[in-house]
Amino acid sequence: MFMQIVVPVDLSDRHQPALDLAARLVERNRGEVTLIHIIEVIPELAVDEEPDFYDNLERRARAHLTRLGEHLAQQHVPCQLVVAYGRPVVEIMRYALETGPDLLVLTTHRLDFHNGQVCGSVSYQVGLFCVCPVLLLK
């Protein structure tokens, strides 16, 4: 059922549960996992105006994705690595719309309603607005 799963990641190390689940879901059908990281473009600081700054961010992102991809390779799960620029929620949803994955798997945190936290995270916004099925892992 799941041939193409997209796992959006930031540069933290909290995505292992999402990677493991995505690998298990695609391995049955010999599918593929795409790891995507969005580099947020700072308003009023275009990519072409500060190429060294954004190049450094992209190098870090690609190195992180490569490490995560090596974990999938050890499980014999093919993967693609994608780095894009823009607003994370918008770019993740755009990528899903353009590529049509079977599922997005995102790691998220529990909401803390006592401190006024209401669905402001990237993962919750993608979960609410994305066109394809989304699985949030807490």
The model's pTM is: 0.91
Cβ-contact 137, 17 below 8 angstroms: yes
Tell me which of 133 and 1 has the higher pLDDT: 133
The rounded mean pLDDT for the chain is 91
Task: Return d(Cα 92, Cα 102) in angstroms, integer.
Answer: 14
3-state secondary structure of 133: coil
Q: Which CATH number fits domain 4-137: 3.30.470.20, 3.30.530.20, 3.40.50.620, 3.90.1570.10?
A: 3.40.50.620
Q: In this structure, what are the phi and psi dihedrals at residue 119, rounded to the nearest 5 degrees? A: 45, 40
CA dihedral sign, ordered 137, 35, 14, 75: positive
How far is 60 from 44, CA to CA, in rounded Å? 22
User: pLDDT, tens digit, for every residue of 51-110?
Assistant: 899 999 999 999 999 999 999 999 999 999 999 999 999 999 999 999 999 999 999 876
Q: What is the pLDDT of residue 23?
A: 95
The 10s digit of each residue's pLDDT in 7-61 is: 999 999 889 999 999 999 998 888 999 999 999 999 888 888 888 999 999 999 9
Output the six-digit token pair for 79: 């993967």
What span, in angstroms and rounded, lies between the C-alpha atoms of 76 and 97?
27
